[in-house]
Structure 1
């Protein structure tokens, strides 16, 4: 089972490394190669723990698997630092510091190799092994502490949710790395003082058995997985979130078509001019697949401009009639209810404008929370989607909502009620 865990982690890390280094339209994000080095180093470290690999290398040099694994782990720690430096510093300064870190890595690995060899030549001297562990755990602990603190701090300043979550997951992974470092320090003290608190050479049968394997195996495995997940999450989530955004924009663009067409037919002056060869109307009716954000934004602007142009024709009587019908359904004060009332007002205003009615002396006020939505494309779109759905399908926006005589009312001859919009109360677009 433990071999399966190590092999699985190594495969996942190699796949993640391949994702990072693959081409992205000729552009690779800052820190791509440092991230790839981190993932490949961790993959090699965990791969060296697999029994088949470990037995193969140790058949040549006994217990050399530990040196290889520790060296790969330090290489991964250096890659973490390089990634962080490339994000936080200017390129020249980052390159200078990375070169210094790589030099420090080389010295550390060389010292560990010398101590490992000397320990083997001196019957596994505990003192030499303690020095070996000291070099290893110092490098690893300092790196985990610095990187964990930096990622947690940066999480509070990130604007994208996936980045905030990913950086916090990475910080938690660093905490597990520090737990592993603390375990190694405990082992170092035990070796240095010859207390034999941690039996040497005992192999782990599962990630939690014996108990010390929780610290020696499970903690570093979780640290690597969480750091990998946290650093890779934004890169994986971003294209998926963009796909969902573009799909929502495309569907919203289509869902607003009926409302947009009626309003722009009544107020053609609100349609923005298009640089395209087919003219403004054609551009607004056909959505370019790669410009979903632009054309949706354009459609929302044109609808809102049309609503403003129709303001003189907004009937207060239609508003009151629709509001009473909405209240009877228990929807008063809800976004759905407000959208139904607005749809009824707009349908009456479009009809009045198309039929040449005179503007009203007291027009119905704008819909509630109009000012709070200004400048927020998503909020505006979600509101207009409710209005468009009610405009196209809701019975209150189509059918009579207040019994009004068919003859004009003397005090307000130019204000049609909902049942006066069409000869039989039916939808003129049906």
Structure 2
């Protein structure tokens, strides 16, 4: 009968392997400091751990080594090595030189002794029946194997606590946002390891009170499997998190580029000279993904140029009406200003299209501030104006208000 091992553990192995290849690729580009080396070692050992306990691999490893359940011993030794590697990575992140080595050497010494004890106890345990999916839960009641398991769990628990202590200590003071997030994710992963330890201790104690360890085996598997996934993400996210940031920034710029289109399109149709590169259609424009920064900057500039071209048609009464309506609607600050500017533009476009006489005041709300912002701030401001231009009921109401007396006549 299949278990969670058949699903979750291959996923863990694949994620660890992919993360290892990613980090090795980075090492080829020159970064080979001790922390990175230990990180790669941790990912390699973790990939080995979960590969060995995949049932199909488990059977083949036993046959290759000629010892029943040898895959369990090798896998759990890899877990100890993996845990040690993470500790050493964190040590070399936080310290350097002899200071780091002093903190590393006693950890290495303890693990060497633990591995020797584990191998000895495992060979003496007499676990001769192959148990591909529930080895620990099945054999935890054996006296010698229970001692083996306690040594293993004590070492594993100590490493998880050490990781939690180091990560929680240095995450708040980390200057790199993705490193800080990675350390916190490692804390979540280490917490999953604690769930695994609790479940395995219950495997030892439970049978002595008549309980069946199979009842909570799923918690051990989830604690180990999901905890490892969080740990892998935490270990590698400082390297690839920046790409997530850049992708998010690109998506926000692209979204702004699309949201500016209705306002920009109305202005460039009214004043074709503002458009540097002629647009064939909205669909073609939306699919033009290259040079987005340049295209977005051009759109912002052209919108402001279009507003300037409409200056003779700007009406003070429209702006005043829009401001009153916006206040009545509960708008304030930037949203109010955006509604006023959108109403002025929409009314000016209508008056120009109807060939009405230009206004006598010809001023634009907040116009003197245009050009004083950086592109990012100006883009944010104009997106609000574009949204109000497209859908705001305040803008629609202000534009449909009766025209002032100076607009009563038309050009001949």
Counterpart-to-counterpart distance in 2, 1:15 and 1:228: 11
Q: TM-score, normalised by structure 1?
A: 0.62
CA contact (8 A) 2:9 2:53 kept: no
Alignment pair present for 1:223 and 2:221: no
Answer yes or no: is the 8 Å Cα contact 2:185–2:230 preserved in 1: yes
Alignment correspondent of 2:383: 385
Aligned residue in 1 for 2:249 = 245
Mapped partners of 1:214, 1:257: distance in 2: 53
Deviations 1:208-233 (A, max 9, x none): 7334x356544333433443355466
Match in the other structure for 2:197: 181
* Residue aligning to 2:317: 317
Give the match for residue 187 of structure 2: 171
Query: CA 1:203–1:57 in structure 2 vs 1: closer, same or farther (change >3 Å)?
Result: farther
Deviation digits for residues 323-350 of structure 1 (CA, Å, limit 9, x no counterpart):
45667xx745277665332113346789
Specify the alignment match of 1:73 in structure 2: 79
SS in 2 for 1:209: helix
RMSD: 5.6
Moved more, 145-154 or 26-35: 26-35
Give the distance between the partners of 1:185 and 1:15, measured in 2 at CA: 28
Distance 1:358 1:311, change over 3 A: closer
Q: Give the alignment partner of residue 141 of structure 1, picking from 143, 157, 161.
A: 157
Find the aligned partners of 1:63 and 1:338 in 2 and give their Cα distance: 73
Please give the alpha-carbon distance, in whole angstroms, between the structure 1 residues aligned to 2:261 and 2:215: 66
Mark the CA change 1:307 to 1:171 in structure 2 (over 3 Å): closer, same or farther.
Answer: farther
Q: Identify the structure with the greater helix proportion.
A: 2
1:248 offset after TM fit, Å? 3.4
> In the TM superposition, what is the alpha-carbon distance from 1:319 to its structure 2 partner?
0.8
Q: Does 1:345 align with 2:344?
A: yes
Name stretches of at least 5 consecutive residues in structure 2 with no aligned partner: 128-138
Do the aligned partners of residues 235 and 358 (structure 1) sit closer, same or farther apart at CA in structure 2, a change above 3 Å counting? same
Q: Deviations over 1:221-259 (max 9, x none)?
A: 343344335546677776455435323313423543575
1:256 maps to what in 2?
260
How far residue 77 of structure 1 moved from its aligned partner, in angstroms, is 0.7
Match of 1:84 in 2: 90
- Aligned to 1:147, what secondary structure does the other structure show? helix
CA contact (8 A) 1:13 1:39 kept: no
C-alpha distance in 1 between matches for 2:375 and 2:112: 53
- Structure 2 distance, partners of 1:358, 1:155, is 60
Q: Which of 193, 201, 214 is 1:209 aligned to? A: 214
Task: Answer whether contact 1:343 1:397 (CA < 8 A) is retained.
Answer: no
Matches for 1:47-66 after TM superposition, within 5 Å? 47-58=51-62, 60-66=66-72
Hey, what's the Cα distance between the residues in 2 that align with 1:284 and 1:237? Answer: 35
TM-superposed CA distance for 1:16, in Å, is 1.5
Map of 1:45 onto structure 2: 49
